[in-house]
Amino acid sequence: MLNDNLPALALFAFVTSVTPGPNNLMLLASGANFGFRASIPHLLGISSGVLILLVSVGLGLAELFSLWPWAEVAMKWIGAGYMLYLAWRIASASPPNGSAARAARPMRYIGAIAFQWVNPKLWLMALSVFSIYVPSSGNDFSLVLAVAALFSLINLPTISVWALGGAKLRHLLTEQRRVKVFNLSMAALLLATLWPMLR
């Protein structure tokens, strides 16, 4: 069954990974403020988090929301609060060469993994995968792991484009005013991704 759905599943993984969302906007800002190399732990944390969350959803974690609807609501508001904090961090970041920039740092590997648990776009993607493309995964661990691994492998190079794009903007962000405009724009776009989740 997976072989029949593989092209559609791979395309879905690519489209959902490369399009704008909380992860990609944060990577764009990280690449611009800290450079591509410094953003690698963030990149690897996202792809690892995608793998872990997809395996968890594929093995039935999402069914807990049917049993405890309040848990889904709580997760949404915790995620919204954390995204507000991240937007504030982005908005208040200093120029790449500024003294405050040395004190700031990009998101770490473990932090990026943890963020996936409150990332609304990833939850919608994971639920779609196991309800549309692989609806009968059940407790077939090998099938769930194969699907999650495929997503993670497609995810890493596609999200890397965003961090690389941000790094290419660094030469334009040497003035305080430009950095402020860029970071405020990234923070506003990140907050805009909350709208579908909180409607």
Q: Which pLDDT score is estimated for 1?
A: 54
Q: What is the pLDDT along the chain (199 residues), one digit of tens a residue?
A: 566 778 888 999 999 899 888 899 899 999 998 999 999 999 999 999 999 999 998 888 767 767 777 776 776 777 677 778 777 877 776 655 544 444 468 899 999 999 998 888 888 888 888 888 776 655 688 888 999 999 999 999 999 999 999 999 888 777 777 777 877 887 787 677 666 665 5
Q: What local confidence, expressed as pLDDT, does residue 137 receive?
A: 58
Give me the pLDDT at residue 102, please. Answer: 47
Listing DSSP states for 169-194 in one string gives TGGG--SHHHHHHHHHHHHHHHHHTT
Q: In this predicted structure, what is the pLDDT of residue 65?
A: 67
Q: What span, in angstroms and rounded, lies between the C-alpha atoms of 158 and 155?
A: 5
Q: What is the pLDDT of residue 92?
A: 74
What pLDDT shows up at residue 100? 46
Sole residue written with tokens 């709580």: 74
Count Cβ atoms below 10 Å from residue 27 Cβ, excluding itself.
27
